[in-house]
Amino acid sequence: MPASDEPGVEDETVHTELGTVYLVGSGPGDPELLTVKAQRLLEDADIVLHDKLPGPEIIDMVPESNRQDVGKRAHGNRTPQSEINERLVALARDGQNVVRLKGGDSFVFGRGGEEAEYLAAHGIPFEVVPGITSAIAAPAVAGIPVTHRDHASSVSFVTGHEDPTKPESAVDWEALATAGGTIIVLMGVTRLPEYTAALIEGGMASETPAALVERGTWPTQQVATGTLETIVDVRDANDISPPAVTIIGGVASTRESVVEFLRNDYDDATEDMNHEPR
């Protein structure tokens, strides 16, 4: 509304300064692995849009009135990504400083790139705050390095959501089977039988070491080890469920040599699971 020329009548035009959206990775779940910057932003944010993967201890750092759960759950209720994108823009246009909190790192299978593009397309300022990705952290706290001079000089990060049998799959499992190095599969517990079979069919040795780390760095962390051929039975015997990271390659065998001396706080509940089922 234009300013009035009449004396004593105030200009009713309201100019709302844009807020900033912070795309924040929370790390693998242990609150002590949250970055200093991420913690500060959580304390200062007007609103935090989060999923479940950051873990309850991190989410509870934010007052309930300042947070919104926009998580996606396998076979459950989902907040469409389009709705999340629109909500980020609307809140920023309302002058709010928003933290978009994701587990791990938002740019590693976290759709942070999609959100950044959407914000930029709508003229919304944003900042990226990296987090420790569970793709590296979960194996590490289980005593498994993703690279090792004796076992692997390269590592491939793969989404396990892809069905290996569909013709248009974006993951070339046959190429991965012969590429060497370590394969890290995120979100791959459900499709474990399909992609382990695809790797064996593609030429990877069935005795290749493999491991599963469920809820890495959480108090409920579980670790189970086997081979490419046995890891599905290992999963079932130990009731491994999402979220979990799958590690395939020679590095998975290193846990056995260090686990006795591994003193991560998370590892107490896993010492009896470092074996294949009999």
Catalytic residue list: 51, 72, 187
DSSP 8-state symbol, 116: H
| Under 8 Å between Cβ of 259 and 274 | yes
E strand spans, 94-214: 98-102, 126-129, 155-159, 182-186, 209-214
Map 226-251 to HEC letters: EECCCHHHHHHHCCCCCCEEEEECHH
Secondary-structure breakdown of the chain: helix, strand, coil percentages, each rounded to the nearest 5: 35, 20, 45
> Mutual orientation of helices 112-121 and 81-93 as an angle, nearest 10°?
50
